[in-house]
DNA sequence: CTATTAAGTCAATTGTCTTGACTTATTTTT
DNA sequence: AAAAATAAGTCAAGACAATTGACTTAATAG
């Protein structure tokens, strides 16, 4: 019982882990391919037909997959394709931003079924938590109205807010939401909702959304640059979101870089030029304006000199950032996404062309070096909602391993 | 058989995968802790005592672990600790560098048992492969002299050479070893040695060495900056080396960055200032000089103005690189390693202090933000040799999964 | 000397995937 | 029109690996 000295080790696994993994693999294969027959699943997963049959039977009984009409495809018995049942699972996503909070309900295939939005009072968590819990309640009621048994199939609540987490916060830094950083958010939400709660930063959430239903669908190595109020990156490595040692991986907005024309001692955080926040500052827009998105959209539709200068400065550094990320990660693609209007995203990416030369210049490329993903203020909330789905159903190493009972080592 | 359309999926697993993983976990636990009893192993891995007993019995029969004398540690039956048998497995490492090739033989615990070195003729692979195969042969004979049954326990050959791989090579670029890039190295080595061959770039190999027997031992999130003839980084993420989509992750020397004092349009690859190659250029040293290491060591012992200027310039950009890597990866530590003499490594790291502020400034840090690892021209060869050991014995996701039979989808 | 604690074993059990023969349904060949 | 070939999918027995709970062994504490 009482091991005084620290024992370090990874945990082992057992048949339960095997079975759980194979179920997840099956669901993943159906998600990626839309529909597959048992025989196709067996070939795709390297499992035997019999094993696939058993697992599919289980999943069907659990209401996660359903059969479609048999299809004749040549010689041999016609195959019966299976697909995911959208109503097989639901999750709630919560975005906490500086001035606003949003909720989303999604189903197993990532479709959005309900949304909610509210302004966040300036008081920080003390008053904000009440608003948030009410908004979640409302979204659950809306979801239940659409899908009566959704409450029984709710797999969790995913929260997303700007990072970084756990870092010495400068209380006056508007980039950090200092008050929220020191608040026991996970515990409060878990107690207030009765759900399993996960937390990611907003860039990670955006990447989760891209992976489930966006440009990174089925891509195992992708960097999602999240261009929002701040700047971040969601790292999809080996098909999983990478979180780093403290959940702060990808906070690229805090990289100290040199503005165009500055001298080499004047390094400043990248997001001071490349972010919606910097744009607001330049265009004298109020970040708390509920129609900020619309105003930026309008400005992008008919860009003035100030905006063009901002784009030039941001693109200059973003071009370097993309080159650096490609060089560091060797991804299949880089995706620009976030809460910026599509028009602005287009202007920005156009200004970033041509991209700087990098190891991403390969003859065998399958995907473009840079593409635009979700440009939608709801992207983070969608990704937040996708996180519990991913956590519950995606194949991942940690899902195979036994969990340590309690104390031990 | 003939699935025309592409089916994408991860593969499933079975009891074999379970068993393989648990064996690896056991070996990993012993490697990390030195020695553990069966009961301790059970607690550490979350497996049952009985399972641990069965696996340990297997491993003992296979000659991978051995028992030590029982120790009394209070009330209860004394426990019998087990440890890895160094002679349980061996591997050969091969470093191919621009002017020299090196071989290393290591055992299961990473001890170096034999070394070989040879100049690489200028002719590229056409003539170089013969030299290399002979050197490997010699090293295997040396190893057999020390450990008679080593040939039966050779788990593979690990090769390391400068990257990037598979990129459009500029034949004249001295940074790339263009001729070697287009040579079927893996196949040739496999055919010439009869061993399983793996390939990594030199920075990855250095990181593998740090992880098995160096500063990253037991650390799951570490960035190893490899300061060699070129500049690279080995990325240890979630306890595994990350390779990227094409095996080129971590080639940070190719990041375009701004030299101190340059104007913002003059971006140049980072390794043009921060690498042994750049130092050679500045100090008029011949990179092919067999005693390059000694000459640099001497220069660092008594630095002149030119060297100090080089250090200042390199440290200026390395400081930014460390800040950027910390911000991107959120690692537990950054390790500076490579084929540079310790004296130079000390000068360089001192010049990098104080580090730039980053999200790595946390109260709960367990490891220093920056530390110095191997500073040894043999580090890459050691890491190359460690790779087959790691591939064979370390717990990893891919080791659990079934391998696809052949074609399928 | 007895009770307690902990390490480790034994033998039966359970859960999961695998195997090989078999059934079903369709197309191709004769 | 019948037979052969092909492929999907099922059945029932088997193999494998971890688990369970009782048991043995060996030490210390009181």
What was the pLDDT predicted at B5? 66
- Name the protein residue, with chain letter, whose CA is nearest the C1' of C26: A76
Strand ranges of the sheet holding A333-338, from the earlier edge strand across to the other edge: A240-241, A231-237, A222-227, A333-338, A370-375
Q: What span, in angstroms and rounded, lies between the C-alpha atoms of A288 and A291?
A: 9
Size of interface A-B (CB pairs under 8 A): 260
What was the pLDDT predicted at A122? 77
Nearest to A6 by CA among B331, B34, B351, B173: B34
B144 has pLDDT over 50: yes
Q: Which nucleotide is nearest to B71 (CA to C1')?
A: D27
Which long-range contacts does A403-407 make (Cβ < 8 Å, 24+ apart)? A403/A11, A403/B46, A404/A11, A404/B46, A405/B46, A407/A1
Q: Output the CA torsion sign for A44, A50, A51, A57.
A: positive
Cβ neighbourhood burial of B297 (10 Å; 0-12, 13-18, 19+): middle
CA distance A135 to chain B (A): 32
Nearest to B113 by CA among B132, B131, B92, B94: B92
Q: What span, in angstroms and rounded, lies between the C-alpha atoms of A104 and A140?
A: 9
Closest chain A residue to B313, measured at CA: A264
Percent share of chain B, pLDDT over 90: 83
Which long-range contacts does A125-128 make (Cβ < 8 Å, 24+ apart)? A125/A179, A125/A180, A125/A183, A125/A185, A125/A188, A128/A96, A128/A101, A128/A180
Nearest to A370 by CA among A325, A324, A322: A322
Given the DSSP bridges, would you call strands B370-375 and B333-338 parallel, antiparallel or unpaired?
Answer: parallel
Closest chain B residue to A238, measured at CA: B244
Q: Which of A240-254, A395-409, B151-165, B281-295 has the lowest mean pLDDT?
A: A395-409
Quick: pLDDT tens for B359-407: 999 999 999 999 999 999 999 999 999 999 999 999 999 999 998 653 3
| Residue of A5, A12, A50, A166 to mutate for B, most B C-beta atoms under 10 A | A12
| Run of H or E including B393 | helix B379-393
Q: What span, in angstroms and rounded, lies between the C-alpha atoms of B79 and B72?
A: 7
Average pLDDT over residues B275-296: 91
What was the pLDDT predicted at A107? 98
Partner-chain contact B256 A323, CB within 8 Å: yes
Nearest to B162 by CA among B384, B388, B392: B384
Q: What span, in angstroms and rounded, lies between the C-alpha atoms of A161 and B158?
A: 43
Q: What span, in angstroms and rounded, lies between the C-alpha atoms of A141 and A149?
A: 11
Quick: pLDDT tens for A19-36: 999 999 999 999 999 999
Helix (H, G, I), strand (E, B) or coil at A240: strand
B387 CA to C6 C1', in Å?
Answer: 39
What was the pLDDT predicted at B122? 77
> Block means of pLDDT (10 residues each) for chain A, length 409 residues?
67 97 98 96 97 98 97 92 98 94 98 96 85 97 97 98 80 63 91 97 97 96 96 97 97 92 85 94 89 92 94 95 98 95 95 96 95 95 98 97 59
A2 CA to C1 C1', in Å?
Answer: 28
Average pLDDT over residues B215-243: 96
Helix (H, G, I), strand (E, B) or coil at A103: strand
Provide the H-helix boundaries in A62-93.
none
What was the pLDDT predicted at B174? 54
Please name the residues in contact with B133: beta carbons below 8 A apart, sequence gap of 6 or more.
B189, B192, B193
Strand C nucleotides with an atom less than 7 Å from a protein beta carbon: 4-11, 14-20, 24-28
What was the pLDDT predicted at A407? 33
Give chain B's length: 409
Structural domains in chain B? 15-84 (1.10.10.10), 89-207+383-397 (3.30.420.40), 218-376 (3.30.420.40)
According to DSSP, residue A224 is labeled: E
Q: Which of B5-9, B136-140, B331-335 has the lowest mean pLDDT?
A: B5-9
Q: Which nucleotide is nearest to A48 (CA to C1')?
A: C18
Closest chain A residue to B322, measured at CA: A255
Partner-chain contact A262 B262, CB within 8 Å: no
Q: Contact A320/B256 with Cβ under 8 angstroms? A: yes
The C-alpha angle with vertex B65 and arms to B64 and B71, in degrees rounded to 5, equals: 175
B254 has pLDDT over 90: yes
Q: What span, in angstroms and rounded, lies between the C-alpha atoms of B204 and B224?
A: 8
Given the DSSP bridges, would you call strands B222-227 and B197-201 parallel, antiparallel or unpaired?
Answer: unpaired
Confidence of residue B172 (pLDDT cuts 50, 70, 90): low
Quick: pLDDT tens for A139-177: 999 999 999 999 999 999 999 999 898 877 665 565 557
Average pLDDT over residues B125-149: 95
* Tokens standing for residue B211: 């992880």
Confidence of residue B160 (pLDDT cuts 50, 70, 90): very high
Distances, alpha carbon A89 to alpha carbons A59, A381, A386, in Å: 12, 17, 11
Partner-chain contact A44 B330, CB within 8 Å: no
Partner-chain contact B244 A358, CB within 8 Å: no
Partner-chain contact B329 A3, CB within 8 Å: no
What was the pLDDT predicted at B169? 62
Partner-chain contact B238 A397, CB within 8 Å: yes
Q: What span, in angstroms and rounded, lies between the C-alpha atoms of B4 and B11?
A: 19
Quick: pLDDT tens for B81-104: 999 999 999 999 999 998 899 999
Q: Which residue of A43, A164, A258 is in closest CB contact with B408?
A: A43
CA distance B191 to chain A (A): 27
Q: Contact B84/B30 with Cβ under 8 angstroms? A: yes
* Tokens standing for residue B328: 């991107």
Cβ neighbourhood burial of A124 (10 Å; 0-12, 13-18, 19+): middle
Please name the residues in contact with B98: beta carbons below 8 A apart, sequence gap of 6 or more.
B120, B162, B174, B177, B229, B287, B288
| Run of H or E including B319 | helix B305-329
Closest chain A residue to B218, measured at CA: A8
Quick: pLDDT tens for A62-113: 999 999 999 998 899 999 999 999 999 999 999 999 889 999 999 999 999 9
Residue-wise over A58-92: b if at least 16 C-beta within 10 A, else e? ebeeeebbbeeeeeeeeeeeebebbbbbbbbbbbb
What was the pLDDT predicted at A176? 53
A77 CA to C30 C1', in Å?
Answer: 22
B277 CA to C19 C1', in Å?
Answer: 60
- Name the protein residue, with chain letter, whose CA is nearest the C1' of C15: A15
| Residue of B13, B26, B335 to mutate for A, most A C-beta atoms under 10 A | B13
Q: What span, in angstroms and rounded, lies between the C-alpha atoms of A24 and A383?
A: 19
B296 has pLDDT over 50: yes
Q: What span, in angstroms and rounded, lies between the C-alpha atoms of B323 and B406?
A: 45
Partner-chain contact A33 B9, CB within 8 Å: yes
B297 has pLDDT over 90: yes
What was the pLDDT predicted at A289? 87
Partner-chain contact A258 B261, CB within 8 Å: no
């Amino acid at each position: 019982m009482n091991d005084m000295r620290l024992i370090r080790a990874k945990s082992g696994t057992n048949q339960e882990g095997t079975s759980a993994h194979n179920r997840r693999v099956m669901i993943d294969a159906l998600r990626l391919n839309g529909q597959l027959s048992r025989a196709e699943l067996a070939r795709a997963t390297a499992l035997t037909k019999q094993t696939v049959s058993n697992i599919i039977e289980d999943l069907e009984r659990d209401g996660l997959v359903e059969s479609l009409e048999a299809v004749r495809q040549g010689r041999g018995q016609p195959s019966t394709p299976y697909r995911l049942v959208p109503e097989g699972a639901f999750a709630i996503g919560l975005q906490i931003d500086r001035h606003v909070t949003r909720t989303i309900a999604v189903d197993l295939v990532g479709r959005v079924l309900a949304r909610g939005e509210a302004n966040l009072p300036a008081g920080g968590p003390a008053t904000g938590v009440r608003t948030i819990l009410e908004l979640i309640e409302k979204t659950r009621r809306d979801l239940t109205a659409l899908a009566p048994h959704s409450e029984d199939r709710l797999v969790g609540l995913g929260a997303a807010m700007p990072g970084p987490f756990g870092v010495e916060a400068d209380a006056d830094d508007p980039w950090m939401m200092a008050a929220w950083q020191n608040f026991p958010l996970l515990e409060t939400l878990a107690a207030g909702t009765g759900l399993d709660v996960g937390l990611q930063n907003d860039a990670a959430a955006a990447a989760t959304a891209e992976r489930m239903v966006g440009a990174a669908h089925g891509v195992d190595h992708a960097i999602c640059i999240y261009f929002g109020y701040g700047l971040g990156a969601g790292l999809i490595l080996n098909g999983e979101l990478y979180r780093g040692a403290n959940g702060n991986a990808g906070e690229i907005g805090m990289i100290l870089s040199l503005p165009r024309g500055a001298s080499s001692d004047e390094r400043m955080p990248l997001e001071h030029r490349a972010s919606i926040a910097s744009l607001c500052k330049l265009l004298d827009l109020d970040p708390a304006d509920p129609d900020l998105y619309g105003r930026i959209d309008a400005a992008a539709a008919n860009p003035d000199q100030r905006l063009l200068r901002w784009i030039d400065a941001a693109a200059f550094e973003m071009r370097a950032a993309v080159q650096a990320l490609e060089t560091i990660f060797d991804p299949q693609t880089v995706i620009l996404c976030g809460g910026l209007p599509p028009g602005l995203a287009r202007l920005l990416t156009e200004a970033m062309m041509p991209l700087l030369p990098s190891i991403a210049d390969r003859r065998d490329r399958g995907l473009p070096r840079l593409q635009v993903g979700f440009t939608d203020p709801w992207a983070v909330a969608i990704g937040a909602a996708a996180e519990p789905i991913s956590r519950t159903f995606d194949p991942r190493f940690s899902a195979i391993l036994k969990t340590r009972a309690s104390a031990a080592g």
